[in-house]
Amino acid sequence: MILELKPEQQSILQRAGKSGMSPEEVLDQAFAIIHDQYRNDDWLLANKDAIAAQIDEGFEQAQRGELIDADDVVGILKDRHAKRRIA
């Protein structure tokens, strides 16, 4: 397959070449990012009702004044992240 690259795409390949990456590695990385994006889109579509319900629940909690302090949220997220790394 032969592809014609736009000048800005050629520039990216040249820049990557200076950093030691081959054009193939650049394309592999680009395709991996696109693949992840599609996977995330698929997950969002498959779970859109559950996500919408959680957003609605959070909005209702906020309207009732059931909010969590920003510093507490950061701590909760750090704990969750640490537990995910362990598992």
Domain range annotation of the chain: 22-86
Residue with tokens 């579509």: 45
**Which positions ≥6 away from 23 have C-beta within 8 Å?**
13, 16, 17
Question: pTM for the full model?
Answer: 0.51
Interval 22-72: pLDDT, tens: 888 988 998 999 999 999 999 999 999 999 999 999 999 999 999 999 999
Dump pLDDT digits (tens) for 5-28: 999 999 988 888 888 988 889 889
Report d(CA 73, CA 71) in Å as an integer.
5
